[in-house]
Chain A
Amino acid sequence: MRYEAPDTIKAAVGLLSKAKGTSRILAGGTDLLVQMRSGMVEPDLVVNIKGIPGMRDIVADKGGYRIGAAVSGAELEEHGKVGQMWPGVVEATNLIGSTQIQGRATMVGNLCNASPAADSVPAMIAAGATARVVGPKRTRDVPVESIATAPGKTSLAKGEFVSSVFLPKPPARTGSAYLRFIPRTEMDIAVVAAGIAMTLNAKGVITAARVSLGAVAARALLVDACAEAIIGSTLDDAALDRLAAAASAAAKPITDKRGTVEFRTKVAGVLARRAAVIAYDRARG
């Protein structure tokens, strides 16, 4: 195994493009080192991107924020302003692991690890976040939901990596929230999760919404039917019932040691409903 710490994106792309065998980007390493230790991956090349200028920056951009691929959960929380703008995203990211894990883990690593239970991913999808993909041919901005394709698999081509994630400026009266179910209060992986963002008009009627479910399919889902269930409503009980039903209908989970198909299907609806109530209250201000 070779270890490299390039100091430009171009050099990193060059290393990844030329590499034979298995290559891995190193961000916070909280997934990668565990996987290497268990023998799940045996990389021939590890490219640490944390020394590339800009990777650790949070930059205000077009009214939103661009978050570098090496920004840790703790740094994101301490920034404060991102959390005011997109509380759902920052809360979801801060749920990852312990204080120690927060000191290292990145949102982009969470995304590119492509676990269906990754906490920050449904929240980013709900926020309409885009990932900036750099590579040998060109730089492209793609919706976050198009990165993970299946557990451990991404749509990134050889030589490509994600340099940052962009959280757009939310329209006025927008609220966001993320909830996950775990059997304890800390240090566990989501059994089911729901991320929601919604925008209201002056009368409190929902005019736009994005709802994403985690851990109920091979990757986080963006569920249009959930959004349609609440758009045009003031999130009354009937709308919440429609939302919960749409979330349960969209869930295509598996049974494993963390939960059964039946449990996950039901809880997808419960969490979508609860997250929607929080997001609605936040949108009203």
Chain B
Amino acid sequence: MSAVHVSTKINGDDVEFVCRPDESLLDVLRDRLGMTGSKEGCGTGDCGSCSVTLDGRLVCSCLVMGAEVGGHEIGTIEGMAQGDKLHPLQQKFLEGAALQCGICTPGFLIAARALLERNMDPTETEVRYWLAGNLCRCTGYDKIVRAVMDTAKDMRKAAAKSSAKKPAAKKSPAKKTAKKGARHAA
């Protein structure tokens, strides 16, 4: 099996690695790069605990080949806090006890961040549909959903404040909603 040499960017840093062509991005992150924040719950795209962003888009790293990320940008849970400063979602998850064993948490955080970057004002249904590919065996989801809703609220407040200070500042990012709730059938 011929090894593949890959140059990519992870959390803003240039990274190079060599992997076998049958290794997933999740295998590479965990076993070759020592980035064990992304978890393997299933390895088949069902649980979302391996969620990362690839060029800004939320994906399951267990369903991406390590060999194919050359020239792309990956975002993992390791890049979420800025030094000691937690991301607002991480802070809210802690405060709201939105985790128990914690295996699902990195995936939920990455997925929730991808949602709030697109839509700072999601409805509960939109949050639940957006996160439908993230499974949690412990919390019963309620606290997770509430933490995401609460973070969104804080972000809206902060955005309103800063745009009140700077009247010329641009409005919050275009609202792109996860409309799936209205769409599922039968």
Contact = CB atoms under 8 A, between A and B. Distances in A.
Contact of B176 (A2, A78, A101, A180): A78
B141 interface: no
Interface string A111-131: 000000000000000000000
Contacts of A37: 43-44
A246 B133 CA distance: 36
B4 interface: yes
Contact of A271 (B46, B54, B186): B186
Contacts of B62: 33
Contacts of B129: 186
Contacts of B57: 72, 74, 103
A178 B54 CA distance: 30
A181 B186 contact: yes
Contact of B68 (A1, A48, A100): A48
Given A37-B43, A181-B186, A97 B22 contact: no
B186 A180 contact: yes
- By size class, the interface of chain B is 35 or more
B58 interface: yes
Contact of B21 (A46, A50, A94): A46
A46 B60 CA distance: 19
Contacts of A179: 185-186
B183 interface: yes
A3 B67 contact: yes
A36 interface: yes
B126 to A, nearest CB: 11
Interface in A1-46: 1-3, 5, 26, 28-30, 33-34, 36-38, 46
B158 to A, nearest CB: 25
B48 A98 contact: yes
A185 B184 contact: yes
A155 interface: no
Contacts of B58: 99-100, 103
A104 interface: yes
A1 to B, nearest CB: 5
A2 B68 CA distance: 12
A122 B77 CA distance: 38
A91 interface: yes
Nearest to B71: A51
B178 A99 contact: yes
Given A98-B45, A185-B184, 6 more contacts: A3-B4, A30-B45, A94-B183, A97-B133, A98-B134, A181-B186
11 contacts: A2-B21, A3-B2, A29-B63, A30-B45, A33-B63, A34-B44, A95-B184, A99-B111, A100-B60, A179-B186, A186-B132
